[in-house]
Structure 1
Amino acid sequence: MFGRLGAPEIILILVVIVLLFGAKKLPDMARSLGKSARILKSEAKAMKEEGNASAQAPTSNEQPPSQRTIQAAPGDVTSSRPVNEPTDTTQR
């Protein structure tokens, strides 16, 4: 009953969307949706690379670098700044 949408149903849905949101706001909405998708994609890629790096990290007593760059927003390089992280000084 509701499983298949044909061309007339899709056109009707698009007309209702244009009437509800207005033609002026649709490009802004599409732009923000695209930006959100790019941010999600870059964060997923960063998490995957971080997971691969931690899996390949040596198991010796080497300390990881104590300085990382933290970004205010994903993909925003203008507001990034280096941050000193506390190191573990306890002996095992």
Structure 2
Amino acid sequence: MPREITGEVIHVVEPDEHDDYELDGTVAELADSRYLLVCREGGVPSFFERLVAFFKRDPITPVTLVSDEGAEEAPKSRRRSISRLWTASTRSSK
């Protein structure tokens, strides 16, 4: 089931850097020769939102995207069976 995610890309793992990370078998299989984008769900927080999160000790919610394009586009995503892992797609779902 498709779901649109708003997020700020906080880290990009390029296909040739996959060996530098300890990727789970399923993640490594999905990422094969594609980019891994680690995003902060919800987009870029304002200064006030960061301050409130700091005092509440509320951590960011990371979301991992697997994408063909890298970090330039804001792709749409669909849920995978692994928790918090999404496959990115730039196709329109009209």
Fold shared by both chains (TM-score > 0.5): no
TM-score by length of 1: 0.18
Q: Which of the pair has more CA radius of gyration?
A: 1
Larger RCO: 1 or 2 (CA < 8 Å, sep 6+): 2
**So what's the TM-score if we normalise by structure 2?**
0.18
